[in-house]
Amino acid sequence: MALSTIVSQRKQIKRKAPRGFLKRVFKRKKPQLRLEKSGDLLVRFHPFSGWEWGTGEVHLNCLLFVHRLAEESRTNACASKCRVINKEHVLAAAKKSRG
Amino acid sequence: MADHNPDSDSTPRTLLRRVLDTADPRTPRRPRSARAGSCALGTLMWLWNLRGTGLERLRARRALLETASPRKLSGQTRTIARGRSHGARSVGRSAHIQASGHLEEQTPRTLLKNILLTAPESSILMPESVVKPVPAPQAVQPSRQESSCGSLELQLPELEPPTTLAPGLLAPGRRKQRLRLSVFQQGVDQGLSLSQEPQGNADASSLTRSLNLTFATPLQPQSVQRPGLARRPPARRAVDVGAFLRDLRDTSLAPPNIVLEDTQPFSQPMVGSPNVYHSLPCTPHTGAEDAEQAAGRKTQSSGPGLQKNSPGKPAQFLAGEAEEVNAFALGFLSTSSGVSGEDEVEPLHDGVEEAEKKMEEEGVSVSEMEATGAQGPSRVEEAEGHTEVTEAEGSQGTAEADGPGASSGDEDASGRAASPESASSTPESLQARRHHQFLEPAPAPGAAVLSSEPAEPLLVRHPPRPRTTGPRPRQDPHKAGLSHYVKLFSFYAKMPMERKALEMVEKCLDKYFQHLCDDLEVFAAHAGRKTVKPEDLELLMRRQGLVTDQVSLHVLVERHLPLEYRQLLIPCAYSGNSVFPAQ
């Protein structure tokens, strides 16, 4: 499965998108909707022509969101000169992005 | 006639003689004779001038020109040659004047050709001695004549190409070959002439070369007229083999040292590995490592993990164990941060493979208690095994496997006592895995253990599994999925985080997913669809400001997603006129 790609980082994270999770969440929230393209994997061109078709972009969106949130939280923490990110920092960041 | 003037023109004279003897009075280039005559004169003077620079061939050329009219100029040529040999410019000039009238009968082309065909009589070395004394005094005088002869001189080269070395070949077909050959000769001669010009003395020029070099005249006129424009050939120095070898030796000294010392692709492991190895047997590094370790979460998770696995063990031992593991983890991290290859890369990989295999064998059935019980004797290895196993586990993948994986990992660790390095083989992936693994099994005791840890307590995933077994279906997978993003959050933050902060992140993510689904629904409905398509996603990202006119979706995909996803998401053309994914 998709493994961490960056070599030089201190900690490595799974880069695989939790496809099942995303689909499940989507289904729960909006059972009437369908997530596209997850099933049309007939063109088995690629060994990976499997899972992440429809949810790849959703996953990307989540990634970017988390990324922005983390950056913002880090900025807040640095601004308050704490070595640790507190929930206040995270809250502030969330409020800023989501209003 | 002065056949062999010892001082200088023995060679050209002999040539001239030969030419005269063999010269064909026919003049195939009659119409050109007039031009040839003037050109011949020009080249004659030019050769004369060039001789000042020490070019024998110029003299030879002049000789050729002089022989343009062998019948009438024979005597004159000889006089001219003699004059040259004696360094009498006036003779040359007179010869110039005289020759002009007599050159019309034979074209320089033929003459040159004949001369070229004849082999040189003198040795190659002969001209050197002859040439040297001559150039100096002659160099001055030609200047006057150069300008007048410039046009003439320039014209001659044009005529030269047609002439070839083939004796007596005047057929047009042959001429083509001669042309080609002569052009080549020209090139060769030019190169030689250029190299010789600055030298001032064409000492090394043999007669043949001098003959051949006659074709290089095209360059000469320019240099003679405007010395500044002359193309100076690069000064060619003989290769100093000694210096070269010395340089080789000097340079070769340095690399071997490096090569011998650093047999590994990365030298950093040398720094990191000692930490790794030392962390196991002794815990003095722990404190230092923990302090420096920003990823305190991992160490703490490993701590609580160990705690859980060996409840029967004294807290101190466990704490020490945790510390060891932490140190080990830290060691891993430090090594991983520096490097991806180490001396023990192979054994490391093998160890990891073993770990994975064993994990697969053991499956999920092993209970944690059993594993912890088995762990008793092999604490040290367990630390390694933990890391290994967890890492190998991580490679397996899922959250569910974490719990049983930990236990099986413990057993595996005990089974594999001597593979401390193996864990560090894939430090990066292993780190994540171990973190992942320890997250799940770490229960409330983790808190107690965490307090013992010097580093900041970090754990994230306490709530989901070990505490409650009730709302499993909904909460667990949901939290498990969220945990993935929470981990990503902490990774992007690059700073230690409080547990509460992580919980906050969870909530934010929850809300975010809600918003996301709503937006997607709206977009799909707007497009009159019931299925969410990638276009909706793109629109969403555009609204979020992630995708702009400058930054496209594909760019983001390439930046943030691993290659496998990139291949799936970005249409790419493949062989057979097919595009994947299909558009």
Q: For residue range B94-132, what is the model confidence (pLDDT) as tens digits?
A: 444 444 445 556 788 888 888 878 766 555 555 544 444
Residue of A nearest to B559 (CA): A60
Q: How far apart are CA A67 and CA A64, in angstroms?
A: 5
Handedness of CA B258, B259, B261, B264 (dihedral sign): positive
ipTM of this complex prediction, to 2 decimal places: 0.77
Chain A residues 9-28 with CB within 8 Å of chain B: 9-18, 20-22, 24-26
pLDDT tens digits, B167-180: 444 455 555 555 55
Return the DSSP state at A85: B
Asked if the C-beta of A85 comes within 8 angstroms of chain B's C-beta atoms, the answer is yes
Q: Report which secondary-structure segment, H or E, holds B575.
A: none
pLDDT tens digits, B328-386: 444 444 444 444 444 444 444 444 444 444 444 444 444 444 444 444 444 444 444 44
Residue of B nearest to A59 (CA): B561
Contact A38, A22 (CB under 8 A): no
pLDDT tens digits, B2-18: 444 455 556 777 877 87
Contact B217, B61 (CB under 8 A): yes
Is residue B291 scored above 50 in pLDDT? no
Percent helix, strand and coil across chain B, each to the nearest 5 = 70, 0, 30
Cross-chain Cβ contact A11/B509 below 8 Å: no
Cross-chain Cβ contact A90/B574 below 8 Å: no
Most confident range, picked from A23-27, A34-38, B153-157, B533-537: B533-537
> Which residues of chain A neighbour B538 with C-beta distances below 8 Å?
57
Residue of A nearest to B553 (CA): A57
Query: pLDDT-based confidence at B529, cuts 50/70/90?
Result: confident
For residue B408, give every residue at least 6 positions away whose Cβ sits within 8 Å of its Cβ, in sequence order, or none: B358, B359, B362, B363, B364, B366, B371, B389, B393
Asked if the C-beta of B380 comes within 8 angstroms of chain A's C-beta atoms, the answer is no
Cross-chain Cβ contact A35/B509 below 8 Å: no
Provide the token pair at B135. Answer: 């150039």
**Which residue among A24, A53, A91 sits closest to B568, beta carbon to beta carbon?**
A53
Cross-chain Cβ contact B553/A35 below 8 Å: no
**Which residue among B340, B477, B531 sits closest to A24, beta carbon to beta carbon?**
B477
Pairing state of beta strands B572-574 and B531-532? unpaired
pLDDT tens digits, A12-38: 556 666 667 777 777 776 677 666 554
